[in-house]
Amino acid sequence: MEVSINIDSAVNRKPHRPEHPTAHAAFNPPGLSVTDRVIVIGAGIAGLAAALDLSTRGREVLVLERAATPGGKLRQIVIDGRPIDAGPTVFTMKRVFEELFADAGTSLEAQLTLRPTEILARHAWSATERLDLFADIGRSTEAIGTFAGRAAAHGFRQFTVRARKMFETLEPSFIRNPRPTPISMVTTAGPLRMLQVSPFASLWSALGQHFRDPRLRQLFARYSTYSGASPFQCPATLMLIAHVEQDGVWMVDGGMHRVAQAIAALATSKGAEFRYNTHVAGILTSGGRASGVRLESGEEIAASQVIVNADLGALSGGLFGPEIARAVPRANPVGRSLSAVTWTMLAEARGFPLSRHTVFFGNAYESEFTDIFRHQRLPRAPTVYVCAQDRDDAGLGAAGPERLLCLVNAPAIGDRRRFEPSEIDPCETSAFQLLERCGLTLDRTPANTVLTTPAEWNALFPATGGALYGPALHSWNSSFQRPPAKLGLPGLFLAGGSAHPGPGVPMATLSGRMAAHAAMLARPSSSSRPTSPSPSRLAATPGGTWMR
């Protein structure tokens, strides 16, 4: 039987708050019987959300993270004493976090300082071809009309309506349902509305119905990369991300890493314990269920349930033990999503008026994805995303060397081989020559630049090859192939971008909350009275927060 998280019925419900905050005792030494401890492996955003929900509800939570800080992909690189966001750079769908914090008895405003952006992103094709998209649809329509003509503005209006309808159809039938199937979606939304979301058409072909100008088609095709997919292969349903973006983009004071820090601190205040620089070498089983973990040091820690915030490939590839590998679906390395090559830097930027988020397009868009997905090589003509982290959306605020993240898409083969300088150098030359053709000159030095390739991403997130979004959404049914939170082995749960409902910071947050909810529903009978709280107000959001 399908279990649906009914968000609408919970909208007017007061968030769950424990009557008495739980002051957890120290964790029992290894070997003692523990019946109510939940171990969360990984302090990425999904693991953090799960830990916060569970600790708020009085569960004994231990989070084990092999890095020195929380966040996972929400990471920072420090150059010359200045921290630079080197992962996701955009905060979207704040409603997800408003509800996460509200259910923990606080508010988003009390935990984070956000500033809305008026310009969603600036786009450039040459020194004279520039287009800004705005949070206000009317301003975007006017800008598109000036850029490409009245017909293009009309096409954009039609596109936004279509994207909104797709979101309204898929939010209750897919995103909010922890275990959606094609049949359950048709039952929820109706067959006609399901056909209207165009599951069998590619995003690229669907965009051709709205935009004759190839530059606009190229621009809106970038939404596929928010989920790590090619616009020429992914279903047209991904255009709904355009609707999500229109709901608002925010800048976080302190950077995106501050989001992870805030959730970790709040979970700690609820009694959760965090151990950093701690590597989990295996998941223990006993009596046909997950029973704890074994650390690389040899220490064993018992638990009644284990939530794994890692890629499915890490489990199915045996990184947590052969018994765990047999209990989970097998990840397909051929179907991986995009990886990236990034240059995190301090540099002087001259010439081009950078906004906070700027995307530079070349003139060989299809070849970029052919290089990546078919030939498994770095693109010869990449699209380049630049996040200017000392600027607001109007481009103000930067002085002297500024914090920049430059990114190009790449194939996720970092577990098979490392790209040689002879491969990286031509891609880098092509990327920065594109910036110069558009009028941007970056005065950078090797000492103030950190290069990250798929091999480094794979080292940070093992068994992914460097894929940043789990499996690629390259068919109508690929979304259904993501595993739900509850896995085949009792007591074992999965959270993160490779699980349902998908990748991106808001979606991974939702995944973590689904895992916590599943763990509460499956709480072992040997523990204290089973608790199945009313589902949290899980405001789901498709798409991701990496910009392309």
Q: Give long-range contacts, CB 8 A cutoff, 24+ apart: 117-121.
A: 117/249, 117/250, 117/251, 117/356, 117/357, 117/392, 117/393, 118/393, 118/394, 119/355, 119/356, 119/357, 119/393, 119/394, 120/245, 120/246, 120/249, 120/357, 120/393, 121/355, 121/357, 121/358, 121/359, 121/547
94 SS3 class = helix
pLDDT of residue 368: 97
Rounded to two decimals, the pTM is 0.88
pLDDT of residue 396: 86
Please state the φ and ψ torsions of residue 228, each to the nearest 5 degrees. 75, 25
pLDDT of residue 287: 93
pLDDT of residue 212: 96
DSSP per residue, 358-382: EEE--S-HHHHHIIIIIS-S--SS-
Please say whether the beta carbons of 229 and 474 come within 8 A. Answer: yes
Please say whether the beta carbons of 472 and 337 come within 8 A. Answer: yes
User: What average pLDDT values come out for the chain (548 residues) when binned by 10 residues?
Assistant: 31 34 35 71 98 97 98 97 96 92 98 96 97 96 98 96 85 70 73 70 94 97 94 91 84 97 98 98 96 97 97 95 91 89 97 96 95 97 97 86 97 97 97 98 96 98 96 82 91 96 93 96 62 40 42
pLDDT of residue 176: 64
Please say whether the beta carbons of 533 and 520 come within 8 A. Answer: yes
User: How buried is 526 (Cβ within 10 angstroms: 0-12 exposed, 13-18 middle, 19+ buried)?
Assistant: exposed
For residue 151, the surrounding DSSP H or E stretch is: helix 150-170
pLDDT of residue 36: 86
pLDDT of residue 395: 86
User: How buried is 300 (Cβ within 10 angstroms: 0-12 exposed, 13-18 middle, 19+ buried)?
Assistant: middle
Give a three-class secondary structure readout of 173-224.
Answer: HHHCCCCCCHHHHHHHHCHHHHHHCCCCCEHHHHHCCCCCCHHHHHHHHHHH
65 SS3 class = coil
